[in-house]
Amino acid sequence: MRFAGRASAIVFLFAVAACERSNQASGPVSNPTRSLRPQPELALVFAASTETIFEATSGAELEKIIVQQQATLSVVPTGLKITASGIDPSLLLPPFIAGKRAILRVVIVSPVSTPIQLFYPLREQPAHNEEHSQMLMLKPGANVVYFDLDQPNLIDPLRLDPAAAPGDYVIKGIVARAPTTPSPR
């Protein structure tokens, strides 16, 4: 009987956490210490930029992404298929950001609602941590999300956690562009 009670409590806690996440599904869900610009604003800045500093939109380019944990990668005609085997798959992006500012666009297809999180290490704090990350919610189907990398002391590698649920995800492309004007902060 004790096991059943504990199992019920665990299920309840997961349900509460899921409800809290779904209430915030339209925007950022983490890092309350950093004010994130709205997705439509980042999309406009990205579209206005003329300087691409990183682009992975084909199989050969996407193959340069490295699995850190809980995932396998395979190139498919539509992009890079990520098979997440657990709740914390993570990928390391090829080096491109050191000392630059950028807007990063990720086009990804998700089978479920789940967070996607980008970790960006800084020169003075090179470890990936929650304080230096941005999290957004994906919806089932095709998603286009933008991450604002407006830090002067970024270093490589960026870590992308494409989901928090097992399943098959497809990254259709990752592009980073330098903003043409400084961030209005």
Q: Strands, DSSP E only, in the chain? A: 51-56, 66-69, 71-76, 79-84, 90-92, 102-110, 114-119, 133-138, 141-149, 159-161, 167-178
Contact 168, 111 (CB under 8 A): yes
Residue 183 belongs to some domain of the structure: no
Token pair for 109: 């297809």
Q: Between 94 and 7, whose confidence is greater?
A: 94
The residue-averaged pLDDT of 98-118 equals 97
Contact 149, 183 (CB under 8 A): no
- Cα Rg of the chain (Å, integer): 17
pLDDT tens-digit series, residues 84-95: 999 999 999 999
Domain count within the chain: 1
Domain limits for position 164:
2-178
Residue 121 belongs to some domain of the structure: yes
Say what the pLDDT of residue 178 is.
Answer: 96
The residue-averaged pLDDT of 8-31 equals 38
Q: How far apart are CA 46 and CA 50, in angstroms?
A: 9
The residue-averaged pLDDT of 168-174 equals 98
Tell me the sheet residues that pair with 159. Answer: 92, 119
pLDDT tens-digit series, residues 43-75: 999 999 999 999 999 988 999 999 999 999 999
The residue-averaged pLDDT of 167-181 equals 94
Residue 69 belongs to some domain of the structure: yes
Residue 42 belongs to some domain of the structure: yes
What are the two backbone dihedrals, phi and then psi, of residue 132, each rounded to the nearest 5 degrees? -110, 65
| CATH classification of the domain holding 40 | 2.60.120.430
Share of the chain above pLDDT 70, in %: 78
Residue 184 belongs to some domain of the structure: no
Cis-peptide into 162, omega within 30 deg? no
Say what the pLDDT of residue 36 is.
Answer: 84
Residue 26 belongs to some domain of the structure: yes
Residue 157 belongs to some domain of the structure: yes
Average pLDDT, the chain: 85
Residue 113 belongs to some domain of the structure: yes
Q: Using 50, 70 and 90 to split pLDDT, how confident is the model at 152?
A: confident
The per-residue DSSP string of 42-71 comes to HHHHHHH--EEEEEE-SHHHHTT-EEEESE
